[in-house]
Every structure is written in structure tokens, then in C-alpha cells.
């Protein structure tokens, strides 16, 4: 599979069977990642950032989730699952989510919490995929700055990590 041709599919439910199956497939394959974005109707799409957007804050009014499973390299200690949430809501997202009743689950470790690059956390390798994706989708819903449809689109990049 090439980087320009991910497997894409849409879903609604947080425990969508295809999403959970794709997560398992990427885990078993030992490399790759999944990006997920909410589907936004055309009339609610934010304008494209201007040519000088890189000088300002984040341009991710529509959040993007990245999930990359942990693995155990031969003869080395296990690498944890890594999750990311790009957003345009400003600094210290982890603290704001906690204040909104959406704290990072127990055992998760914040690696980065930056207004332009997003929130990145390590998740224990044995964490339940349904629990992880549920937290990510709910958190992305909280930070989305445009009206959402309730649908999501996933892009699976398997075998490339």
C-alpha cells in the first residue's frame, strides 16, 4: 500500500466494526496508523488558511485524530500506542478537556500539548481500542469549531510506520 492510497471508509458509531477491525489489522501488521476526521457539510467548511497562516495559531478548525498502535520491537521494550488530536482551540488542551469532564484516561501520558501541533499522548499498549477511540472521538467533537454531521472518515495507512 502506498502513502497516497490509504484505505478510506466512513462510519458513525464509535464502536464501528470496520474501524475496530482496521485498528486490529494495523496492530497485528506492526506498523502504520489511522487518521480520522469528522465529516463536515460543504456549507460549514471553514475557509482555507491564507498564505501567511503559518505565522498565526493553528488552522485545524476541523480536528484530526491520529492513532498509531504500540508494538514490541524484537529484543526491546514495548512501545506504547500514540494518539494525537490536532485542533484550533489554543494551548493546554489536556487541562481544558479535564475541566470539561473529559480528562485523559488513567495511564495515558501527555507527550505534547501545543496550540499548533496539537495534543499527543502515549496510551498503554494493552488499552482497549474501543475505549481509546471513544475518548478520541468525543474529545474531537468537543474541540471542533464548525458544525459536524455526526459522521466520520477514517484513512488507514497500514504497513508504513
The pLDDT value given to residue 8: 96
The pLDDT value given to residue 154: 97
What is the number of residues in the chain?
161
3-class DSSP string for 49-108? CCCCHHHCCCCCCCCEEEEECCECCCCCCCECEEEEEECCCCCCHHHHHHHCCCCCCCCC
> Which grid cell is 126?
494493552
Can you give the pLDDT of all 161 residues of the chain as single tens digits?
445 589 999 999 888 999 999 999 998 887 899 999 999 987 766 666 545 445 454 456 899 999 999 876 777 777 889 999 998 888 899 999 999 999 999 999 999 998 878 999 999 878 999 999 999 999 999 999 899 999 999 999 986 54
The pLDDT value given to residue 61: 81
CB neighbours of 2 closer than 8 A, spacing ≥ 6?
Answer: none
The pLDDT value given to residue 115: 80
Q: Where are the domains of the chain?
A: 12-43+56-158
Amino acid at each position: 500500500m502506498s502513502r497516497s492510497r490509504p484505505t478510506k471508509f466512513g462510519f458513525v458509531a464509535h464502536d464501528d466494526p470496520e474501524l475496530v477491525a482496521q485498528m486490529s489489522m494495523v496492530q497485528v501488521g506492526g506498523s502504520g496508523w489511522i487518521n480520522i476526521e469528522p465529516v463536515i457539510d460543504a456549507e460549514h467548511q471553514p475557509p482555507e488558511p491564507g498564505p501567511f497562516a503559518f505565522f498565526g495559531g493553528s488552522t485545524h478548525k476541523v480536528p484530526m485524530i491520529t492513532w498509531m498502535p504500540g508494538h514490541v520491537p524484537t529484543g526491546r521494550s514495548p512501545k506504547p500506542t500514540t494518539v494525537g488530536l490536532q485542533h484550533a482551540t489554543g494551548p493546554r488542551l489536556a487541562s481544558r478537556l479535564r475541566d470539561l469532564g473529559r480528562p485523559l484516561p488513567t495511564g495515558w501520558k501527555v507527550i505534547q500539548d501545543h496550540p499548533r501541533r496539537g495534543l499527543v499522548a502515549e496510551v498503554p499498549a494493552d488499552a482497549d481500542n474501543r475505549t481509546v477511540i471513544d475518548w478520541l472521538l468525543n474529545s474531537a467533537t468537543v474541540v471542533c469549531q464548525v458544525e459536524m454531521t455526526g459522521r466520520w472518515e477514517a484513512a488507514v495507512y497500514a504497513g508504513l510506520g
